[in-house]
Amino acid sequence: MARIFYQQDCDLQKLANKTVAIIGYGSQGHAHALNLKDSGVKVIVGLYEGSKSWARAESQGLTVMTAADAAKAADVIMILINDEKQAKLYKESIEPNLTEGKTLAFAGSTGDSLEVVCRRPCDVVFIDYTHILSRCGHACIRHSILVQNMLQLMADKAQALSRRVDVLSRRSIREKLLCYFRQLSQQAGSRTFTLPFSLSTLADYIATDRSAMMRELKRLREEGSVRSDGRQFTIRQ
């Protein structure tokens, strides 16, 4: 049975001489990182090379490094990136740097279905959002920001789910690809846009076989409906 910790159970001295890595600096990550920093905890932020959030985090007084380097340097690793990116990031950047005594933390709701397999001795922490949503006894500004960001995140996820349902409702691979590409084009405000993930992940996203998807992409390129250079795509109007 899980043990639930409340604010009165917290002792920041437990984090003395410890380093906490916040992986991701989006709607949740920056509030977690700044809250811990303001509380006197040593915090580092882990991002991918070229992330637009890199300069932003540094401008707010935080140390930034790649996710792999952050995981290697930290005692506590908090995963706060988009769900669809977590598996790849964990496999490539987190797992190789998990050593005995480190703590790996996730955030989610009690309704989530999540299985964590630890191949090396470590602690795994799952944060119950109901306690984050309750009133902060210290009227902490970072707590308010965290709640606001969570509401924004929920709205963003609802929109993302709606967009994916639109894609998956299409009957053919071609229709799914073009529907998704039009969505990205609209978000970018341009016919040229960048895929947010790899082609393998794209195949999973549209729920199709990767080889079949690649054949359809080849046909779209040959007929001039789509041009691509790596992850950058341009669609014909």
What pLDDT tens digit does each residue of the chain (237 aa) get?
556 666 666 777 777 889 999 999 987 888 888 888 888 889 999 998 888 889 999 999 999 999 999 999 999 999 988 777 788 888 889 989 988 888 888 775 444 455 566 666 767 666 666 666 666 666 667 677 777 777 777 788 788 889 999 999 999 999 999 999 999 999 999 999 999 888 888 999 999 999 999 999 999 999 999 999 988 999 986
CA-to-CA separations, 168 to 38, 179, 180, in angstroms, rounded: 44, 9, 9
Residue 114 has a pLDDT of: 53
User: Do 100 and 106 contact (CB within 8 A), yes or no?
Assistant: no
Q: Alpha-carbon distance 223 to 179, whole Å?
A: 17
Residue 12 has a pLDDT of: 74
Residue 224 has a pLDDT of: 92
Chain centroid to CA 145: how far?
18
Global pTM reads 0.51
Residue 175 has a pLDDT of: 95
Strand ranges of the sheet holding 232-235, from the earlier edge strand across to the other edge: 192-194, 232-235, 226-229
Residue 5 has a pLDDT of: 63
Residue 117 has a pLDDT of: 65
CB burial class (10 A; 0-12, 13-18, 19+) of residue 228?
Answer: middle
Residue 158 has a pLDDT of: 85
Pair of tokens at residue 58? 């540094």
- Domains of the chain listed by start with CATH number: 7-154 (3.40.50.720), 170-235 (1.10.10.10)
